[in-house]
Amino acid sequence: LFTLDPPEHSRLRRVLAGRFGTRRVEQLRDRAEEAAEALLDRIVESGPPADLVGRFAIPLSTTVAGEVLGVPPEEHHRLWTWAERRLTGTATEEELRAQAEEYSACVAGLFALRRLEPGDDVLSCLLRAHDDGVITKGELSALAEDVLVAGFVTAAYQTAGSFYHLLVDPARLDRLRDRPELIETAVEELVRYVPLNNFILPRYALQDIELGGVLIRAGEPVLVALTSANRDPSVFENPDDLVVDRTACPHVGFGHGPHYCLGAPLARLEMRVALETVLRRLPGLRLAVPWEDLRWKTGGAVNGLHALPVAFGT
């Protein structure tokens, strides 16, 4: 996206933002709630224990993101598998090359479908931008990869990680269950508190500048640990505490400025719906295994749990 010249970049970002904007996303609330209820119907029917990652967070995210992106349900699993391996570093180089070929064929098919049946979705929007000369064929493919990977994976793992941090301290869950009006505030605090991204992109100095007593010369790279900003004690009181009713929460979990995440309203919606429905439908929610036994995916761009087994009921 940022290889475009500023006018084209601004135009495309505005168009994409319209597809992810708060008003557009709120129109998906009914669909998100319907999907969450259906997933929990199956969980309740089969009984505990249940994996909140594989049986809830992932299918909820792919369903909602698929609606916005323009991906038919039959392609959700294939794209999830590719995107998840891409972000979590769980595939070998040979596997990634093979998956890249499969992905390219899949996306080509999705674009062909959207040409036949254009709609008010992100892939259709990207196609129109390409046809209008705003982006090249290579940029079309790269942008499709970015939005598909981010749309399918990040919200799922942010939701699952949020449930983990609530479950390790049941008092937090009880507070949200007793006061559901706090859920919207809790979502912002969870985005602040739960670290999702592991990757750090270099920033390059445009001119000589002294920072922290160190001279950084023009052209030199600087690696910034963005997640540390969300634990800044000069901004947040008791920054290492998860406070579900924290009222002042100017976090940068979705980035800032021109780098602000286009999908932030969608991620917020998914997390709110997930918390509301799970707390209402699964009384007595608790971890089904000791928290020390839970395994996290390592070595990739995002933090994600392999599974989150939970019990519920009396």
Q: What is the CATH number of domain 6-199+243-311?
A: 1.10.630.10
Q: Which amino acid is at 215?
A: L
Least confident segment among 9-13, 52-56, 57-61, 153-157: 9-13
Cis link prior to 59 (omega < 30° from 0)?
Answer: no
Report DSSP letters for 27-77, one per residue. Answer: TTHHHHHHHHHHHHHHHHHH-S-EETIIIIIHHHHHHHHHHHHT--GGGHH
Contact by Cβ (8 Å): 159, 274: yes
Separation of alpha carbons 177 and 159, rounded Å: 17
Separation of alpha carbons 263 and 61, rounded Å: 12
pLDDT attached to residue 10: 63
pLDDT attached to residue 245: 93
Instruction: Measure the N-to-C terminal CA separation of the chain; round to a whole number of Å.
Output: 50
Residue 53, pLDDT > 90, answer: yes
pLDDT in tens, 151-209: 888 899 999 999 999 999 989 999 999 999 999 999 999 999 998 877 777 889 999 99
| Residue, of 26 and 160, whose pLDDT is higher | 160
Q: Which residue has the tokens 């670290």?
A: 195
- Band the pLDDT of 4: cuts 50, 70, 90: very low
Neighbours of 85 (CB within 10 A): 17
Residue 3, pLDDT > 60, answer: no
| Residue, of 233 and 12, whose pLDDT is higher | 233
What mean pLDDT is predicted for residues 103-124?
87
Q: Quick one: which H or E segment has residue 118?
A: none
| Residue, of 201 and 130, whose pLDDT is higher | 130
Structure tokens given for 53: 């990652």
Tell me the percentage of the chain whose pLDDT exceeds 90.
Answer: 49
Q: Which DSSP category does 222 fall into?
A: E
Q: Domain extents for the chain?
A: 6-199+243-311
Report DSSP letters for 269-280, one per residue. Answer: HHHHHHHHHHHH
pLDDT attached to residue 226: 76
Which residues, including other chains, have CB under 8 Å from residue 257's CB and lie 6 or more apart?
Answer: none
Residue 127, pLDDT > 80, answer: yes
Task: Name the pTM for this structure.
Answer: 0.88
Separation of alpha carbons 51 and 164, rounded Å: 12
Tell me phi and psi for residue 253, to 5 degrees.
-60, -25
pLDDT attached to residue 1: 40
Separation of alpha carbons 91 and 103, rounded Å: 14
Please list the residues that pair with 81 across neighbouring strands.
none
pLDDT attached to residue 120: 84
Taking every pair of Cα atoms in the chain, the longest distance, rounded to a whole number of angstroms, is 63
Neighbours of 310 (CB within 10 A): 25
Residue 8, pLDDT > 60, answer: no
- Band the pLDDT of 2: cuts 50, 70, 90: very low
Residue 81, pLDDT > 70, answer: yes
Q: Which amino acid is at 92?
A: T
Categorise residue 297: left if φ over 0, alpha if ψ from -120 to 50, beta otherwise: beta
Q: Which residue has the tokens 């505030």?
A: 185
